[in-house]
Amino acid sequence: MKVMIVEDNFLMRLTIKELLIKLGHEVVSETVNADAALKAFIELKPEAIFLDLILLGKSGLEVLNDIREINKDVKIIVITAIEQEEIDKKLSNKGVDAVICKPFSYKDFKKIVNHVMPCKS
C-alpha cells in the first residue's frame, strides 16, 4: 500500500518508515508540517496516512479535517503521545481508522497496521 508519513520528529519518522517497509508497504512521502502534507497528499494520492497530532503550524487534527474533505476513504492512522479517551473519541468521530500511542512496540504497530491496511503481497 502507498503510505504518507506526517511526523515532525526525524527519528519517529524514520522508525515508522522502516517498520512500514518491513511490513511490505511503500512510503511515498514524508512530511513535517501541514502545508507540505496537504500538497503531497493531493499530488501523490497515498492510500494511507500516518499522522502526528502535534505539528508546527496547523495541528494534525486540522490536517485530518482537510484530508477528509478531499478523500473520505484514505486510511488514517494517528500517531500521538497524547493518550486520552476524549481525544480518541473525537478522532474516531472524524474518521480515523486507528490511533497508535507513542512510544509503541513493533508488535503493537504491526497488529494495528495489518488490521487497518493489510499488505496484498
CATH number at residue 58: 3.40.50.2300
- Residue 108 lies inside a defined structural domain of this protein: yes
Structural domains in the chain (count) = 1
- Residue 35 lies inside a defined structural domain of this protein: yes
Spans in the chain with pLDDT lower than 70: 83-90, 92-93, 120-121
- Residue 87 lies inside a defined structural domain of this protein: yes
What counts of helices (H) and strands (E) characterise the chain? 5, 5
Q: Which domain holds residue 93?
A: 2-116
51 vs 97: CA distance, rounded Å: 11
Give 45-74 pLDDT, tens digit per residue: 999 999 998 888 888 889 999 999 999 999
Cell numbers describing residue 111: 497488529
Q: Which residue has the cell 527519528?
A: 11
pLDDT score, position 72: 93
- Residue 47 lies inside a defined structural domain of this protein: yes
pLDDT score, position 88: 62
- Residue 121 lies inside a defined structural domain of this protein: no
- Residue 7 lies inside a defined structural domain of this protein: yes
